[in-house]
Amino acid sequence: MASVVVRPAGARQETAWLLLLCALILLVSAAIVAWRVVPDESRQIEIWQLDARVDLNAAEQGVNADLQAAADEILWALEEGSTPTPEQLAADWIPPFIEDVASAERGGHHWQLQSLGHELAYIGLSEQTATAGHFLLRVEAPDAGHSHEGAAPTSVWIKRDGSAAESERVALNNMELSNLELSNNALIAAGWQQVVSHFDASVTRGTGGGL
């Protein structure tokens, strides 16, 4: 008489194989991820520089972005032979020189122009230093023949006040401005910091070159 072994109904074996397969897939995936991981390179900036993305507050980021855009307009005007004053820039609706609700929210800067050697300095004194620091836009005249200290023809600088009283601060700043010297070393010594920003292409993009 033939005997047939009938295993009890159940999926224990299939479950075991499935779990093993899942574990294998996870293991392979983890190995691939570990192999492909790119170390997080932190960008080094000088101690006298501030990163616009992480070191500035929202109000300062707004003023900096506007100044960067205004700088091109100023350069173009200089190439055409005119030196735009803050009042002229405001009349052409160029922020941050125009006085509006946004400028008030961002510290209420009062802008003045100083011409120092072959450079122009657009200085914005902050009315509310707790909201945003003082700003300085340096613009090199196009016919100067060389960029300031090897850098781009324009740069943005910021100075944040300490704890001095408001009236003292303005007096101090006015005195400082009359003696302002436009060199990196002099500005750094006077407590100014250069605002720098960097371009990061999308992290999910391949490597590609620009022009």
Give the Cα separation of 187 and 181 in Å (integer). 7
Q: How many residues does the chain have?
A: 211
Among 98, 170, 177, 188, binds other proteins (CB under 8 A): 98
d(CA 50, CA 48) in angstroms, rounded, equals 7
Min CB(80)–other proteins separation in Å = 10
- Residue 96: strand, helix, or coil: coil
Alpha-carbon gap, residue 156 to 194, rounded angstroms: 6
Out of 16, 24, 82, 100, the only residue in the binding site for other proteins (CB under 8 A) is 100
Q: Which residues does residue 120 pair with via DSSP β-bridges, in sequence order?
A: 115, 139
CA 199, CA 21: separation in Å to the nearest integer? 43
Q: Is residue 181 near other proteins by the rule CB under 8 A?
A: no
Q: Is 68 among the residues that bind other proteins (CB under 8 A)?
A: yes
Nearer to other proteins, 143 or 200 (CB): 200
For residue 134, which of 154, 150, 111 has the smallest C-alpha distance?
111
The answer to whether residue 87 forms part of the interface with other proteins (CB under 8 A) is no
Give the range of 2-10, 91-99, 167-175, 183-191 binding other proteins by CB under 8 A. 91-99
- Asked if 49 is part of the footprint of other proteins (rule: CB under 8 A), the reply reads no
Number of Cβ within a 10 Å radius of residue 209: 4
Stretch near other proteins under the rule CB under 8 A, chosen from 1-9, 13-21, 167-175, 193-201: 193-201
Write down the least CB distance from residue 42 to other proteins, Å: 7
Residue 94 touching other proteins (CB under 8 A) = yes
Tokens for 126?
Answer: 């902050």
Residues 6+ apart with CB under 8 A from 148: 119, 138, 140, 155, 182, 183, 184
**Is position 86 an interface residue for other proteins (rule: CB under 8 A)?**
no
Q: How far apart are CA 63 and CA 156, in angstroms?
A: 10
Task: Tell me the β-bridge partners of 157.
Answer: 136, 194
* In the complex, minimum distance from the CB of residue 55 to other proteins, in angstroms, rounded to a whole number: 10
Please state the closest distance from residue 54 (CB atom) to other proteins, in A. Answer: 5
Kindly state whether residue 151 participates in binding other proteins, applying the rule CB under 8 A. no
Contacts with other proteins, residue ranges (CB under 8 A):
40, 42-43, 51-54, 58-59, 61-62, 64-66, 68-69, 72-73, 76, 92-95, 98, 100-102, 104-106, 197, 199-206, 208-211
